[in-house]
Amino acid sequence: MAELAAAELLLALPVLPFPAELSVERTVTAQSLVPFEGNFYSISPGLPGARVMVTCRLGEDFLSIATTGRAVIARHRKAVRGSRQTVRDAGHVIALERSVLASFSDRALQAQGPPPAQRGRAGRGRAAARGQATGSTAERVVIDLSHYAAVAERLRHVPPRDEEESTE
C-alpha cells in the first residue's frame, strides 16, 4: 500500500485560495449610484430604483455591478470599506450630465397675468424689495456640475491601465 501511495502523483497546491465571491442585491439611487459597504459606486443613468447585483471576489480590489439578468453595467476599484466615498466613472459622469441638462430647456415659461411690458419696473421693484429673484424659472435654476467636471478632468490625465488590470 505504501508503494502505491508513493507512486501516486498529486497536484500542487494552488497559489491563490478558491475564488469565493460575495454577491448582494442593491437598489440604484436617483443619482445613478449603488451603495455597497459604506460607499457609493456610479452606473449609467436611466436605472433609478432598479435592483442590481454587486459582486466582488474576496481578496480582489475590483467589484462588478450587473443587472438582475447578469449583464455587467459597471466595474470599479473598491474603496476602503465604510469610508463613505463616491466612486464615479468618467463615462457615467458625462452621461449623467447630459441626462440632467436634457431635462431643462432654454425657453422661459409663459407667466400668467399682464404682459411683461405692462408689469414694468414696479413689479420687479416689489419682487426685489421682498427679496425674491426676478426672471423666469429657467433663469433661476442653478445646476452645479463642478464636481462632475473636476472628476472628468482628473480622469483625462489618468495613465492607461497596465496589462494585468485590463484582462480582469
d(CA 76, CA 42): 8
Q: State yes or no: pLDDT of 82 exceeds 60.
A: yes
Q: Which three cell numbers stand for residue 157?
A: 490625465
Q: State yes or no: pLDDT of 164 exceeds 60.
A: no
d(CA 30, CA 82): 21
The average pLDDT across 124-144 equals 61
The confidence score (pLDDT) of residue 18 equals 81
The confidence score (pLDDT) of residue 160 equals 66
3 state SS of 93: helix
Q: What is the pTM of this model?
A: 0.54
The confidence score (pLDDT) of residue 78 equals 95
CA angle 124, 127, 130 (to 5 degrees): 150
The confidence score (pLDDT) of residue 26 equals 97
Contacts of 7 by beta carbon, 8 Å cutoff, 6+ apart: none
The average pLDDT across 99-104 equals 81
Residue with the bigger pLDDT between 129 and 146: it is 146
Asked if residues 48 and 29 have their Cβ atoms less than 8 Å apart, the reply is: yes
d(CA 165, CA 145): 30
pLDDT in tens, 106-130: 766 665 666 666 666 555 556 555 6
The average pLDDT across 87-93 equals 90
